[in-house]
Structure 1
Amino acid sequence: MEGVVILEISKRIKQYRTDNGFTLQELADLSGVTKGMISQIENGRSIPSLTVLLSIVTALQVNLSEFFKDISQEEELVIIKRKDTYDQFQKEGSSGFLYERFLTRTIKNSTVDIVFLTLEPNSYRDQVTTDAYEYKYILSGEVDYLIANETYTLKEGDSLFFDGRLKHVPVNKSSKPCKMLIVYFFDN
């Protein structure tokens, strides 16, 4: 599947889940898919198999034709995203991590996902891994990045590139938000 299609499917699953008032656990119980897998799918970090996708859509009580309506693999050549149209999301199990996705595209067998992250003071999340190489650019503020038991302090204008398969987490110990641009490079 193309990156844009995968992200649209992820967004739709989350939208239908929240519209139905289901928690991740309730959808997991109804679909027979683990809560962690649903969270990863909703956040675009995992691609569901056809069986898993059908189980989730069935549990959401959505007609398949309605669920897939208007999903297209056609890529636009020029893309303009206005700030008020960025997709806002928060990863499960985190607090104070406010993401805004503004571009995801598949380019020659690789998917690029570009997001803004506003990291609030004293925010928390366990260390995670991703199936992507990650580039971080600090737009404002300061952050400590813990990567594979090493700590890297980054300030405004600094950047970082690493293999997301290493356990990592940003920590904002300051009293001001840290805003960063993140680019994920996924191999297809």
Structure 2
Amino acid sequence: MNQEPGGQLVYHRIGGLIRKYRKEKGLKLLDLSGVTGIKSALLSKIENGRMLPTIPTLFTIIQKLGITPEIFFSELSAESDFPGYLYLPKDGFSTYEKEEGAIGFQYQSVLESTFEGGAFQISLLTLTPGSQRAQVTTAAYEFIYVLNGPLQYQLEDKTFDLSEGDALFFDGSIGHVPINHTNTTCRLLVMYFFGELRK
């Protein structure tokens, strides 16, 4: 797990950490739902970073997973000093699953870090031809940069036709989905900003 400066808790990693422990226990979302009493749709949103759980919900989940709070929160802590630069070879990008059931969506985490008042994550998203997913929401602001396209990006009832070099910035609480109608692979750079924007 990446470490960040300042000894802060990296809240946007909660979902991925819950998924990791759930899979280590050999549990499906429906299994975890059954033992926690939390709906599987809500668990899916938490695991995929679409929303942050309330404190009682989080403690229920980690208790039912058999993880002590000390161990869980130690994995969220960020304790190393930033040396002033980061070299990020592509072999070090970690693949992760963001939406269970999505077809043709391949995510790679490039960098995750915190800053005063928030955090960010930079990912590469590859969309294969015929990729499918329903619109989702995220507890973050999102910046999309098209590395190669074309593709369509839907924000609720609006559709944007994007080509290589185009960008889109939006509030992730708006339902959204990228669509690849072509017969070639599309790639996007996706940045998630966790925190409040100043007006």
> Normalising TM by the smaller chain, what interval?
0.7 to 0.9
Query: How many residue pairs end up in the alignment?
Result: 187
The aligned counterpart of 2:70 is 65
Amino acid at match of 1:114: I
Alignment of 1:20-169 (within 5 A): 20-74=25-79, 76-77=81-82, 78-90=85-97, 91-169=99-177
Runs of 4+ in 1 over 6 A off after TM superposition: none
Q: Which amino acid aligns with 1:68?
A: F
Of 71-80 and 113-122, deviating more is 71-80
Shift of 1:27: 0.7
In structure 2, the CA distance between the partners of 1:87 and 1:33, relative to structure 1 (3 Å rule), is farther
Cα deviation, residue 37, structure 1: 2.2
> How far has the Cα of 1:83 moved from its partner?
2.5
Give the fraction of aligned pairs with identical amino acids, expressed as a percent. 37
Structure 1, 174-183 or 144-153: larger mean CA deviation: 144-153
**Partner in structure 2 of residue 174 of structure 1:** 182
SS in 2 for 1:13: helix
Give the TM-score normalised by structure 1: 0.86
Q: Tell me by how many angstroms 1:4 deviates.
A: 5.8
Alpha-carbon distance between aligned partners in 2 of 1:32 and 1:4, rounded to the nearest angstrom:
26
Are the aligned partners of 1:4 and 1:104 in contact in 2 as well (CA < 8 Å)? no
Change (3 A) 1:46 1:163: closer
Root-mean-square deviation (CA), in Å? 2.2
Q: Which deviations, in whole Å up to 9, do the C-alpha atoms of 1:109-162 show, x marking residues without a partner?
A: 132221110011111111122233221111123211112322211111211122
The one-letter amino acid paired with 2:62 is V
Q: Structure 1 CA distance, aligned partners of 2:76 and 2:155?
A: 36
CA shift, 1:7, in A, is: 3.6
Mapped partners of 2:156, 2:74: distance in 1: 42
CA 1:127–1:141 in structure 2 vs 1: closer, same or farther (change >3 Å)?
A: same
Tell me, yes or no, if the aligned pair for 2:122 and 2:190 is still in contact at 8 Å.
Answer: yes
Distance 1:25 1:183 in 2: 30
Q: Is residue 184 from structure 1 mapped to residue 192 from structure 2 by the alignment?
A: yes
CA shift, 1:75, in A, is 5.5
